[in-house]
Every structure is written in structure tokens, then in C-alpha cells.
Amino acid sequence: MEKVYLDSAATTQVRDEVIAKIQDCLVNCYGNPSSTHSFGRAAKTRVEQARKTIAKQLNAKPSEIIFTSGGTEADNMILRCAVRDLGIQKLITSKIEHHAVLHTAEEIAREYGLILQFVELDEEGSPRLDHLEALLKADDSKKLVSLMHVNNEIGNMIDIDAFAQVCKDHGAVFHSDTVQSVGHWEWDVQKTQIDFLTAAAHKFHGPKGVGFAYIRKDSGLRPFIFGGGQERGSRAGTESLHNIVGLEEAFTLAYEHLEEERKYVSELKSHFIKRLKEALPDVKFNGNSAVEGKSTYTLVNTCLPFSAEKAQLLLFQLDMKGIACSKGSACQSGSSAGSHVLREVLSEEDLQKPSLRFSFSMFNTKEELDYVVEVLKEYAHS
């Protein structure tokens, strides 16, 4: 049976070079970075080198990079600390955010008695810049805005520079969940007036369980986790050195090969869309996921023209054929409630049809995509 992995938006295959770096670190650099002897100093050097590598690529300062266990922790840390420390009175986000932001925002609003507002979406499911500006202009309260750069389910991209600028113009603090963006798109935090962003290594061929937060210098945030004072006091706890080293290697390779891999993966996506349209003429593509320039090149979200009966068994049938994809994001695949993103984007009629997210990487081939299309076509006519 052929095995085809098309769920890279959930997690990516780890590069061989990254695995080698992690193994070498586990064997040869096992000291605690907080220890003052030579073993500890060697480990500390590796942590700080990784911090410098990331900061240089983002055009940030090393002190602005804080290592975390991943994107969810980074989002929680930033949102909670910003509300706690910056006198935030209104929290503005959208209803299509990842639950790491959406649920956190809802919980913080309850805890602190904040006003929680949602930016309206356009017809394709992207936050409207004009409505955000209207919310920011409404009064002089201190506001925190959190809007993701690339949506993890439908792939829609916002004009991050424009959103960041309108927040700065109106004195709002701006955070973006960039977990689906970092490692796939270029970043310059001096050009993009963003206060906070987040990343997870496993989205760009690194290990799970490690990520980072960018926190602009002099932001005013106090520590999130208290203890031994690691991560410049912001996040105590012994650093996961081998994961940080793996993150650095994956991050470095992602940007070294960005242009060639983006071109290759973009061609895969275009090929898949073309073949799907040929095989299933009534197929629809959710949000902007099939629109070049308005969505990321790494995924497409499809609304398939199958009956309710066929829809119930679709993922099972694909899995039986060795095909891995996603019904919504992996983080909520166990939920019976369905995708909160698609509920905001699709009509009632299309919500009754099966929608699947197919996400690609450099490890995929056109032959694999052709196989998937043939399986879908065969199932549609069975």
C-alpha cells in the first residue's frame, strides 16, 4: 500500500540533518546550560548561538527571542503577560484564530473582565482591515490585537504589514500567531511593526516540543514562569537543549532553501488543484486557499462534492489507502463539533459536505498527488 503524507500543516517530517544535530547534542553536549563548569558553559553557548541565529534572520535582537515548548505556550505567554502587565482594557482578535489564541483570549477576558471584540471577516474569511481600524478608533482604551498571519485551516494570509501599521498608528499592541508562517515566509521585525510573534519548530521540519516567542525590546512584559531565571528571567526552567539545537538547524535550513522549496511546493499545490478540478468538477476550495497571493503555498482546503453517506467514511477510506490529510486542524481532530473556522466561512449547504485540508512539503511528489486524486475520484464514483 502506498503511503502519502499530506498533513504537514499539522506537523512536518523532521529533516535528516536536524536529527543528526539532535543526536550529536544528546551524546556530546549534555550539560545543564545553567551550570558554571565547562559542560554547562558549552551547553549555554549552544543555546545562545541558536538565539543569535534566529534573531539575525528575523532582524531582531537576540534578547528578543525567548525559547518555549511551542506555539501554544508562546501564544499563552504573550497574551497573558500583555494583559497582566500593560494595562490592556480591550482584547481584539478574530473568530478564525487557532484555539491557542481564541480560547486563551476568551479565558483572559473572563478573568480580567476585559472587553473582547472580534474583527469582522470578508467573504473569503479574512479579517477586514477597515473594521479593525474602526474598532481601534472607537475609543482611547488600551488595546491588544491578536491576528494570525497565515490561517492554519484555510491558508488565508493577511497583509501583515498593513495590520501592524494600523495597530501602531492607533497605539495598540499587536501580536500575531505566525506558527504557519515562520520557516515558510520571510520576516523582518524592523520593517513589520509587530510587537510579538510566535513559532513552532515542528511546522518547518524540526522537532516537536520547542518553539520561540519574539517579544520586542522594552515591551514591558514581566516573567511568565518563575524559577531559576532562565531565558533572561522570562521563562524559568532548564532549557531543552537538544530541541533548541534542532530548532536552530531546521530554521537555518528552512531559510537557506526557502526559494527553491517554496517554488517546488507551490508547483505541487497548483498541480493538485488542477488535477482535482479535472477529476471532480464540482469541487470547491475554501477561503482563499486556491488563490495565489492570498493564501500560503503550503496547503489547500477543499469542499468535496460527496453525499452525506460518503462523507462519513471519507477519512477512513483515505486512511485505508495510506493517505494522511486532515479534517480541520490536527489540534481539534478529536472534536465532534467540527471546524470553528469553516463554520465562519462556509454556507450551511457546504457545511454538510466533507471539507479536507491537504498540506504539502518538499518531501511530497506530483506522483503522490496524482494517486490521491485517483483515490478520491474512484471513491466519488463507487
Residue 336 in this model has a pLDDT that exceeds 80? no
Q: What is the pLDDT of residues 192-235, one digit of tens each?
A: 999 999 999 999 999 999 999 999 999 999 999 999 989 988 99
User: What's residue 9's pLDDT?
Assistant: 98
Q: Which residues are paired to 118 by β-bridges?
A: 93
Cell 516573567 locates to 223
CATH fold of 16-256: Aspartate Aminotransferase; domain 2 (3.40.640)
User: What's residue 328's pLDDT?
Assistant: 59
Q: What is the pLDDT of residues 301-333, one digit of tens each?
A: 999 999 888 888 999 999 999 999 998 544 444
User: What's residue 333's pLDDT?
Assistant: 46
| Cα–Cα distances in angstroms (integers) from residue 123 to residues 120, 126, 128, 347, in the given order | 10, 8, 10, 11
Q: Which residues are paired to 67 by β-bridges?
A: 212
Q: What is the pLDDT of residues 140-186, one digit of tens each?
A: 999 999 999 999 999 999 999 999 999 999 999 999 999 999 999 99
Residue 237 phi/psi, 5° resolution?
125, 140
Q: What is the pTM of this model?
A: 0.94
User: What's residue 308's pLDDT?
Assistant: 81
User: What's residue 335's pLDDT?
Assistant: 47
Residue 248 phi/psi, 5° resolution?
-60, -45
User: What's residue 77's pLDDT?
Assistant: 97
Using DSSP bridges, classify how beta strands 284-285 and 299-303 pair: parallel, antiparallel or unpaired: antiparallel
Q: What is the pLDDT confidence band of residue 107, given thresholds at 50, 70 and 90?
A: very high
User: What's residue 332's pLDDT?
Assistant: 44
Domain ranges, ordered by start, for the chain: 4-12+258-380, 16-256
Q: Which residues are paired to 280 by β-bridges?
A: none
Q: Which residues are paired to 277 by β-bridges?
A: none
Whether domain 4-12+258-380 has CATH 1.10.10.10: the reply is no
Residue 1 in this model has a pLDDT that exceeds 80? no
Q: What is the pLDDT of residues 249-290, one digit of tens each?
A: 999 999 999 999 999 999 999 999 999 999 999 999 999 999
Average pLDDT on 29-42 reads 96
User: What's residue 338's pLDDT?
Assistant: 81
Spatial CA neighbour of 354 closest among 379, 374, 371: 379
Catalytic residue list contains 331: yes
Chain centroid to CA 201: how far? 10
- What is the three-class DSSP state of 128? coil
Give the active site residue among 81, 167, 303, 331.
331
> In a 10 Å sphere around its CB, with 0-12 CB exposed, 13-18 middle and 19+ buried, how is residue 282 labelled?
exposed
Average pLDDT on 353-378 reads 97
Spatial CA neighbour of 359 closest among 317, 318, 330: 330
User: What's residue 307's pLDDT?
Assistant: 86
Q: Output the nine-digit C-alpha cell for 118.
A: 472580534
Q: What is the pLDDT confidence band of residue 15, given thresholds at 50, 70 and 90?
A: very high
Question: Is 16-256 the same fold as 4-12+258-380?
Answer: no
- Tell me what the pLDDT averaged over the chain comes to: 95
Q: Is the dihedral of CA 21, 22, 23, 29 positive or negative?
A: positive
Cell 502506498 locates to 2
| Cα–Cα distances in angstroms (integers) from residue 135 to residues 112, 120, 132, 194, in the given order | 20, 10, 5, 18
